[in-house]
Amino acid sequence: MSSIFPTLGIDRNKVRWEDYLTALTPWEQRGGLWFKREDYFAPLGYGGPNGSKMRQLIWYINRFRAGKTRLLTGASVQSPQLSMSAIVGAHFGLRCQQVVYSKPNSVLRHANPQIAAGFGADFVFAAAPYNPVIQRKVDELRSDDALVVEYGITVPHKKYPAADVRGFHETGAAQVQNLPPEVRTLIVPAGSCNSLTSILLGLSQNAHNLQTLFTVGIGPDKREWVLERLAAMGVDPAALRFRWQHHSLHDTGFSAYSDYFEGESYEGINFHPTYEAKIWRFLRQHLAPPLARDGTVGFWIVGALSHPDVVRPYFTHAA
């Protein structure tokens, strides 16, 4: 199994991606550890855009696309937000306008803009390589016909009604349903923390036999943000029936968010260089005692690296 989608493709006459938002990705046991394979949520096949972010983006665009003719977003040329937005926009028939810091003659040297262009994205160029500058340009381009994909692919809880915030997270919360009953410790990446918030929402409804949630931060500490979002959805963190333990790779200096760790793998699973690979290297080098390989530990794979060649056959435009 490499994708939960029975039909691969971008044509809505053949497959509607929103129909699979709550389809469960599997758990796999390898070498005595359980792995949640969110990288199998891959509508264009394994190695194409995938994972929790892809699911949440599909929910968001499907929920708010009425009356819109285009998507508008802004991010680094290294960000999969660009490729994902263009791909999902194309699936729903929306052209994508993207704010980036680059030059017209060099933007397509980068993989994510190249993929985005292949699905019809148009680029607007920011004046500086800083996210606040990019997002200000996005704000300048806002209009009634544009659906804005927020930075980080999220639904800000101080801007949207609580029902929409909860709907955004319920698609990911459903993925907790098939947590193996023998798992007592669950390890989860904490980056933007949208996936983590979804997992916590799901575990607040059914913690199964979980005893410890061990989150590993790959960016600045966002636990306060997570607690605010849970409260906005009516979830009391004090009522959770397990211990929440956190360690920050970013704040301890083990790695910066922008660091790229290649070559980390386990039992045939190649970890994402920006996310899970950092956590795996930390666990290998610094966790004492080593991970128990007795079936009681689960590792949540939020997503895997995408490869341009996988999606190229589905391009809708010459890039």
Give the pLDDT confidence score for residue 148 in this predicted structure: 98
CA distance 84 to 14: 20
> Torsions phi, psi of 202, nearest 5?
-65, -45
3-state secondary structure 20-47: HCCCCCCEEEECCEEEEEHHHCCCCCCC
The answer to whether 17-51+160-301 and 54-159 have equal CATH topology is: yes
Residue whose C-alpha is closest to residue 265's, from 31, 54, 17, 77: 31
The mean of the pLDDT values for the chain is 95
Give the pLDDT confidence score for residue 1 in this predicted structure: 60
Give the pLDDT confidence score for residue 289 in this predicted structure: 66
Tens of pLDDT, residue by residue over 49-82, are 999 999 999 999 999 999 999 999 999 998 999 9
Task: Give residue limits of the domains in the chain.
Answer: 17-51+160-301, 54-159
- pTM, full prediction: 0.95
- DSSP, residue by residue, 277-301: HHHHHHHHHH-SSPPP-SS-EEEEE
Using the structure block, give the residue that is written with the tokens 């929103």: 18
219, 141, 67, 58 alpha-carbon torsion, rounded to 10°? -20
CATH number for region 54-159: 3.40.50.1100
Give the pLDDT confidence score for residue 231 in this predicted structure: 95
The mean pLDDT of 151-180, rounded to a whole number, is 96
Give the pLDDT confidence score for residue 318 in this predicted structure: 76
CATH number for region 17-51+160-301: 3.40.50.1100
